[in-house]
Amino acid sequence: MLKGKTALVTGASRGIGRAIALELARQGADIALLYAGNTEAAASAAEEVRSLGARAEVFQCDVSDHDAVKTAVSAALAAFGGLDILVNNAGITRDGLLLTMKEADYDAVLDTNLKGAYNTIRHVAPHFVKRRGGRIINISSVAGLIGNAGQANYAAAKAGLIGLTKSAARELASRGITVNAVAPGFIATDMTEKLPDAAKGALLSAIPLKRMGTAQEVASLVAFLAGPGAAYITGTVVRVDGGLAM
Domain boundaries, the chain: 6-237
**3-state percent helix, strand, coil for the chain, nearest multiple of 5:** 50, 15, 30
Lowest mean pLDDT among 40-54, 132-146, 197-211: 197-211
Does residue 154 surpass a pLDDT of 80?
Answer: yes
Q: pLDDT for 26-84, tens place per residue?
A: 999 999 999 999 999 999 999 999 999 999 999 999 999 999 999 999 999 999 999 99
- Catalytic: 106? no
Q: Cα(32)–Cα(84) distance, rounded to whole angstroms?
A: 11
pLDDT in tens, 172-182: 999 999 999 99
Is residue 93 a contact partner of residue 151, using CB atoms and an 8 Å limit?
A: yes
Q: According to the model, what pLDDT value does residue 166 have?
A: 98
Check residue 198 and give its pLDDT: 82
Which of 3.30.830.10, 1.20.120.1200, 3.40.50.620, 3.40.50.720 would CATH assign to domain 6-237? 3.40.50.720
Q: What is the reported pTM? A: 0.96
pLDDT at 194: 73
CA atoms of 97 and 134, how far apart (whole Å): 39
Question: Can you tell me the mean pLDDT for 106-123?
Answer: 98
Catalytic residue among 35, 106, 118, 154: 154
pLDDT, average across residues 239-244 = 98
